[in-house]
Amino acid sequence: MFWETGWYLTYHYWPTAHDRLLFEANAYFTPPRSAREHLAQQLGIATIKEYALQDCGTLEATQMGLESRAVSAFPLGDQEFMVRHLNKVVDDWVRDYQRSRAAR
């Protein structure tokens, strides 16, 4: 995310297992020119932590819903095009494997 005040933020989701991930956020600032700018950057970092906790909370709730098996399908929005592509590629691999096993 790029912010109008000249800094940007990156989120990284590192899967560590089928039901776990490491969440990492990095903020990039230009060097502060004054104590006021330094304080504003520190406030920005504190705000990022709050947003990240909210984002991770929705991820945790989604995982719990999927693990409950109460939901049999999970629709993806247009923003998740890379996830949709990964899902298609994995589905193709599984179907190819199943076909090769059936042909034996």
DSSP 17: E
Task: Read off the pLDDT of residues 27-84 as tens digits, 9 standing for 90 and up.
Answer: 899 899 999 999 988 988 888 888 888 877 888 888 888 889 887 777 777 777 788 8
pLDDT score of 4 more than 70: no
70 contacts: CB under 8 Å, gap ≥ 6: none
Nearest to 7 by CA among 26, 27, 25: 27
15, 63, 83 from 58: Cα distances, Å: 16, 9, 17
Task: Centre a 10 Å sphere on the Cβ of residue 40 and count the other Cβ atoms it contains.
Answer: 14
The pLDDT value recorded for residue 73 is: 77
Q: Do the Cβ atoms of 72 and 81 come closer than 8 Å?
A: no
Task: Read off the pLDDT of residues 17-33 as tens digits, 9 standing for 90 and up.
Answer: 888 888 888 889 989 99
What pTM was estimated for this model as a whole? 0.53
